[in-house]
Structure 1
Amino acid sequence: MVQDSTKESKAVLSGYKVVDCTIAMAGPFATQRLGDLGADVIKVEPLDGEWQRHTPAGGAKGKQVNASFLSLNRNKRSLAVDLKNDAGRAVLFDLVRSADVFVQNYRPGVAKRLGVDYASLAAINPSLVYVSMSGYGEDGPYAHRPGQDLLLQGMSGAMLSTGRAGEPPSPAGQYLVDAVAAATAFEAVLAALLHRERTGEGQLVSVNMLDAITTLQMQELSVYMQGGLPQKRSAEPHAHVYIRAPYGAFATSDGYVIVAMPSLKTFGGVIGEPSFLEMNDTTDPWTYRDEIFARTRDRLAVKTSAEWLALFDQNGIWAGPVYGYEDLLNDPQIRHNGTFVEYDHRTEGRVKAPGFPYKFSKTPASVRYGAPLVGEHSRAVLAELGYDDAAVEALLRDRVINETAG
């Protein structure tokens, strides 16, 4: 799916301006979603660029823009400005006057020290939707702890909902807490904008990663609190403590397949396990969880993944493949959905990346900009705010702003 980066946006948030003062993953991922929906996202970053520009995941540095930054900052323009400088803050204030949304994920207290806290910016623009993202909350005993994904996974309880008893906790294979916090912030911005459309009122919106990953576990925590069932990991690598067996990834003769809580009678007949035929689906999948897992594992080892998946499909058993990224990219449903987008980037060449997890019949998302270079749009953004060439040149000379020349 090739997107025209020069096409005028007709997306659902076209006409809204977002000031993005975020770093790392959660904040930039949330604002990228807003940009994908057509918002004019101005990424305000230090003169040398935000932290993620200099910290590539897996060492994937790219030509001038590393893969991590590239993945989280498309559909944004970059304004590189020194917010510790009075003249730099004045530039930001000018930007905020015409903005609809302001998003920051500074450490607690930093926004106030910089003079860009909610009270300060609401005085400039009372209709502003101001989003403050944090690790643990705006205040409280953990407010100053580092809001890092794995630390929050550990605290959330989720690591003990899978894996073997007696073995180390099982982290997710993604930056799960960052992604959930980003989705939460994105959702909150849309709701706050809807309120503003109805009332004209801006407001402060607070999103923290700890609450985001906790509420994601709505079902599991309800089973624990209301159902009174503890997290009891099993001896076998069962995929979830509150789901009945068999539930997990099982080796075949040439790979792995996923099997998800089938009727034991049907499943036992298909895989040739007579002990399952006498079991009760209501109670036995929990009572004999380890035994069911082990017997499933032994039976599935004798055929290929394709053979088992064909049999399971014929018998209405929930099952599927275990993919690596190459398999995912080549999957026919992924291709049919247009899950990935492609576009040309100024320094990185042809970029292929996950696209948009939503579709609109009349206001489609599109890639208008690749991830910007540091200050790539500083001059254009200031011109839109009414700064003439002489004023821009003075700010550049005084190192209040920075730009990457076109």
Structure 2
Amino acid sequence: MAGDSNQILAGITVLDCTVAMAGPFAAQRLGDIGANVIKVEPVEGEWQRRMAAGGGEDRKINASFLSLNRNKRSLAINLKSEEGRAAIHKLVKSADVFLQNYRPHVAAKLGVDYDTLKAINPRLIYVSISGYGADGPYANRAGQDLIVQGLSGSMYSSGTRNGPPQPSGQYVVDATTAYCAFEGALAALFHRERTGEAQRVDINMLDAALAFQMQEISVFTIDGKIQERTDEPHAHVFIRAPYSAFPTKNGYVTIAFPPLAKLGEVFDEPRFLAMDDAVDTFARRDEIHRLVAEHTAKWDRDELLAALLKHDIWSGPVHDYQAVLDDPQVRHNGSFVEYEHHSEGQLKTPGFPIHFSRTPSRVDRGAPLVGEHSREILKTAGYGDSEINELIAKGVIGEN
């Protein structure tokens, strides 16, 4: 079923093979402007149908899933079966966009990797969303909003002067990543309309989180201003504990809702083993937070991170901006661009977070002076010099 013929993406078919927030949100945006979005999910349904934010219950479809999946039709299918893969391949033949956010190598196992689908439909726009990039030192880690807030330096900007870094009260990284994926799909569709050429589009949460801090990071990289928090907070109540930044002997680590039994193993803490993940992690959030903080404070940060990652517990360091610049994944991704500005000299800022396989982004010029290009722009519109001079004299046009 196509969208309304008056909508921008009417006639465009999207196969949405994503879960959680960033991918589904991006696909929903495409549906909101007319795309025929088919949500491809397991026979039992996407896990977020059953995992309500805030512990909400008594709904057939929970609020989280409702909020991210409007303007879609659902195809419940087992992609691990030969028949399921064959069905998807048939759908791919007439699709325009394919979105996925599988962990590395999963897409290939399911027969929906870029090379396989490109051979079926050379006009397919393939949008891949990951936590940290398609490769690199963090490629196999789980990409999760809180963890990326810490890695990207954004968390270090919130909280009190003497308190811990303060996470955002929203899934800000997921949302930003979703918009990047949405923009990437649109840009690739536009490129295809102009040239007939399709391509792969790669989005990762870390680059998206860096890009939305364009002003803040640039204040640090250009002016050298550090993130100095004040005495009072300037900053999710719906996520189970532990879900926060926790102190160590030499910095902070983020920990995102692990099974309490795993924490009990890491910290040799029997009190965690007596708690119920489904109940206590909401009802006893403050108690759990304090207990985790009591243990993390005894550890060296890097030793604790190694122990947590060994137990597959979602965790990461809380970076300031200098640590962001030095981070091996950031360096590997080429997340920052450096260029010469004609009036401000050498600049270093977060780059464009959407990576097109055939049409990469570039910096042709820095930010213009006010009215710097007024004359040349008006000339391209057909104005002569005398007309432009008159408009400038009247104060209608500014020129620098």
Distance change >3 Å, CA 32–CA 12, structure 1 → 2: same
Q: Are 1:116 and 2:112 an aligned pair?
A: yes
Q: Is residue 2:89 matched to residue 1:93? A: yes
1:210 aligns with 2:206: yes
Report what 1:163 is aligned to: 159
**Change over 3 Å in CA distance of 1:180–1:62 after alignment to 2:** farther
Q: 1:231 aligns with which of 209, 227, 231?
A: 227
Aligned partners of 1:154 and 1:121: how far apart in 2?
A: 35
Compared with structure 1, are the counterparts of its residues 30 and 122 closer, same or farther at alpha carbon in structure 2 (3 Å cutoff)? same
* 1:336 aligned residue: none
| AA in 1 matched with 2:36 | D
- Unaligned segments of structure 2, at least 5 residues: 236-400
2:99 matched to 1:103? yes
CA contact (8 A) 2:12 2:36 kept: yes
Distance 1:64 1:238, change over 3 A: closer
Q: Structure 1 CA distance, aligned partners of 2:58 and 2:205?
A: 29
Contact 1:60 1:68 in 2 (8 A): no
Equivalent residues of 1:53, 1:65 under 8 A apart: yes
Instruction: Quote how far apart the aligned CAs of 1:62 are.
Output: 4.8
Q: In structure 1, give the amino acid aligned to 2:131.
A: G
Whole-Å separation in 1 of the counterparts to 2:146 and 2:69: 22
Matched position secondary structure for 1:226: helix
Q: Write the distance in 2 (CA, Å) between the matches of 1:71 and 1:235.
A: 36
Match of 1:128 in 2: 124
Q: CA deviation at 1:9?
A: 5.4
Equivalent of 1:36, from 26, 32, 35? Answer: 32
Give me the whole-angstrom Cα distance separating, in 2, the residues matched to 1:62 and 1:97. Answer: 39
Instruction: Give the corresponding residue for 1:58.
Output: 54
CA 236–120 in structure 1, closer or farther in 2 if over 3 Å, else same: same
SS of the residue corresponding to residue 103 of structure 1 reads strand
Task: Sort the Cα spacing of 1:11 and 1:125 in 2 relative to 1 into closer, same or farther, 3 A.
Answer: same
Residue identity in the other structure for 2:109: R
Aligned to 2:80: 84
1:174 aligns with 2:176: no
Query: Does the aligned pair in 1 maintain the 2:3–2:9 contact within 8 Å?
Result: no
The Cα of 1:50 is off from its aligned counterpart by 0.8
Q: Distance in 2 between matches of 1:108 and 1:61?
A: 32
What is the total number of aligned residue pairs between the two structures?
235
2:139 corresponding residue in structure 1: 143
Give the Å deviation of 1:6. Answer: 12
Q: CA deviation at 1:79?
A: 0.7
Give the equivalent residue in structure 1 for 2:245: none
CA deviation digits over 1:369-398, x for unaligned, max 9? xxxxxxxxxxxxxxxxxxxxxxxxxxxxxx
- Structure 1 residues 184 and 17, CA gap change in structure 2 (3 angstroms): same
1:220 to 196, 216, 222: 216
Note if contact 2:2-2:35 (Cα within 8 Å) is conserved in structure 1: no
CA contact (8 A) 1:61 1:67 kept: no
* Aligned position for 2:261: none
For residue 141 of structure 1, what is the amino acid of its counterpart? P
Letter in 2 for 1:230: I
Contact 2:43 2:77 in 1 (8 A): yes
Cα deviations by residue, 1:154-200 (Å, 9 ceiling, x for unpaired):
11111121321120111111111000000110011110000000011
Amino acid at match of 2:122: P
Cα shift readout 1:4-38 (whole Å, capped 9, x = no counterpart):
x9994531111100000000010000000000101
Q: Which amino acid aligns with 1:185?
A: A
Q: In the superposition, relative to structure 1, how do residues 141 and 209 fare at CA in structure 2: closer, same or farther (>3 Å)? A: same
TM-score (norm 1): 0.56
After superposition, the C-alpha distances for 1:91-115 in whole angstroms (9 at most, x for unaligned) are: 0000000000000000111001111
- Aligned residues of 2:3 and 2:10 also touching (Cα < 8 A): no
User: How far apart in 2 are the matches of 1:238 and 1:130?
Assistant: 39
Distance 1:166 1:33, change over 3 A: same
**Alignment partner of 1:11 is 2:7:** yes
User: Helix, strand or coil for the counterpart of 2:223?
Assistant: coil
The equivalent position to 2:63 in structure 1, one of 55, 60, 67, is: 67
Structure having greater relative contact order (Cα 8 Å, sep ≥ 6)? 1
Taking a change above 3 Å as real, the CA distance of residues 183 and 62 of structure 1, as seen in their structure-2 partners, is farther
Maintained 8 Å contact 2:4/2:34: no
Structure 2: how far apart are the matches of 1:103 and 1:71?
18
**Equivalent pair of 2:2/2:11 in contact (CA under 8 Å):** no
Which structure is larger by alpha-carbon Rg, 1 or 2? 1
Partner of residue 307, structure 1: none
TM-score, length of structure 2 as denominator length:
0.57
**Pairs within 5 Å for 1:191-202:** 191-202=187-198
AA in 1 matched with 2:143: G
The equivalent of 1:324 in structure 2 is none
- Partners of 2:7 and 2:33 within 8 A in 1: yes
Consecutive unaligned residues in structure 1, runs of 5 or more: 240-406
Q: In the superposition, relative to structure 1, how do residues 141 and 161 fare at CA in structure 2: closer, same or farther (>3 Å)?
A: same
Moved over 6 A (4+): none
CA RMSD of aligned residues (A): 1.7
